Amino acid sequence: MNLLVALFIAAVPAPHTTPAFKADPAHVCGSCEAWNAPHEPFRIFGNTYYVGVQGLGAILIHSDAGLILLDGGLPQTAPRIDASIRKLGFRTQDIRLIVNSHAHYDHAGGIAALQRASGATVAASAWGAKAIENGGPLEDDPQAGFGKETNAFPAVKKVKVVADGETLTVGNAAITAHATPGHTPGSTSWTWRSCEGERCLNLVYADSLTPVSAEGFRFTGDATHPSREASFRKALATVAELPCDILFRTHPDFEAIDARLAERKKAPGGPDPLVDPGACRALAERSTRALDERVAEEAKEKRP
Ligand SMILES: [Zn+2]
């Protein structure tokens, strides 16, 4: 073979090379750039890895029959998630199941591209499934008033509906859905067990619990909408009671997490600084105070 032919063959990529990731157009918002700053992927515990960015959670669970991905971030987070998955030595095309916390552009926006890259089943609550198929939250979302254009994200054609308490499995991995409505009517938190040898822990990916809304929306209801307060408080009670050794959230707090990861590196084999069985209860308490404040504000506004 002459030199030119040899050079030509060397330049052609092998057929099993990963295809380039095809992202959807970026979503533009005030916090998007800061949220989407990259973060190194890392093993959380056992078969569970962090593949999200600085401000938006995404979790990968490895099984003997493919991968589970929790959340897809913004449309522009999807290629970062893809890169993190590959950096850990896994393959994006091996994702079999993608689940969602809530159907807003910053957690569901990257799902469509990740689904296309993998052929994975996408699953969410009944409300969440409708919103993801719709490419934006439904009319009864507290943030619907921000407008269709602001709220829109790439839609997924077919989303599997998951009931409260239902467990989904991929190979030897299983995750359970917990309805935690409030931030959206379809908000869902996810739990699973993960083991390192004999040691098994309860992991939680808790959905947003903040009472954020567009102008004019009332969590305590108005002439045309019933109050959401009781179901929101029930969701907070659910989160407080979740089996919870390691908690990750939709908007992770990397100041705290990075400090704990540094501690972990310093003392390998010691108690894991990421383990905090009180974390879900503490999150529920903080979120209850925020809801109390919101309810008090709405009561003030209602008074003539
Ligand atoms: Zn949201």
Taking the centre of ligand 1 as the mean of its atom positions, its distance from the CA of residue 55, in whole angstroms, is 12
Ligand 1: centre distance to CA 74 (Å):
11
Range 52-66 burial, b when 16+ CB lie within 10 A, else e: bbebbbbbbbbbeeb
Residues contacting 163, CB < 8 A, separation 6+? 126, 177
Burial class (CB in 10 A: 0-12, 13-18, 19+), 157: exposed
H-type alpha helices, 12-120:
32-35, 78-87, 105-108, 111-118
Ligand 1 centroid to 208 CA: how many Å? 7
Q: How far is the CA of 106 from the centre of ligand 1 (A)?
A: 7
DSSP string, 234-271: HHHHHHHHS--SEEEESS--HHHHHHHHHHHHHSTTS-
Residues 6+ positions from 21 with CB-CB distance below 8 Å: 78, 79, 82, 83, 92, 113, 117
For ligand 1, the distance from its centroid to the CA atom of residue 123, given in whole angstroms, is 17
pLDDT lower than 70: segments of the chain = 1-18, 303-304
Distance 270 CA to ligand 1 centre (A): 36
Q: How far is the CA of 80 from the centre of ligand 1 (A)?
A: 20
pLDDT 10s digits, 199-252:
999 999 999 999 999 999 999 998 888 999 999 999 999 999 999 999 999 999
The alpha carbon of 279 and the centre of ligand 1 are apart by a number of angstroms equal to: 21
Give 102 Cα–ligand 1 centroid separation in angstroms. Answer: 6
Hey, where are the domains in the chain? 30-302
Residues 6+ apart with CB under 8 A from 263: 273
pLDDT of residue 130: 98
Question: Distance from the CA of 104 to the center of ligand 1, in angstroms?
Answer: 5
3-state DSSP assignment of residue 111? helix
CA–centroid distance, 26 to ligand 1, in Å, is: 17
CATH architecture label of 30-302:
4-Layer Sandwich (3.60)
Dihedral through CA 189, CA 240, CA 49, CA 91, nearest 10?
-10
pLDDT number for residue 80: 98
Tell me the CA distances in angstroms from 7 to 2, 10, 11, 14, 17, one per residue in order: 9, 5, 6, 14, 18
- Taking the centre of ligand 1 as the mean of its atom positions, its distance from the CA of residue 257, in whole angstroms, is 21
What is the pLDDT at residue 184? Answer: 98
What pLDDT shows up at residue 14?
Answer: 55
Taking the centre of ligand 1 as the mean of its atom positions, its distance from the CA of residue 93, in whole angstroms, is 27
Question: What is the CA(46)–ligand 1 centre distance, in A?
Answer: 29
Per-residue model confidence (pLDDT) at position 19 = 74
For 92, 125, 175, 179, 296, the CA distances from 120, given in Å and listed in that order, are 10, 17, 15, 22, 43
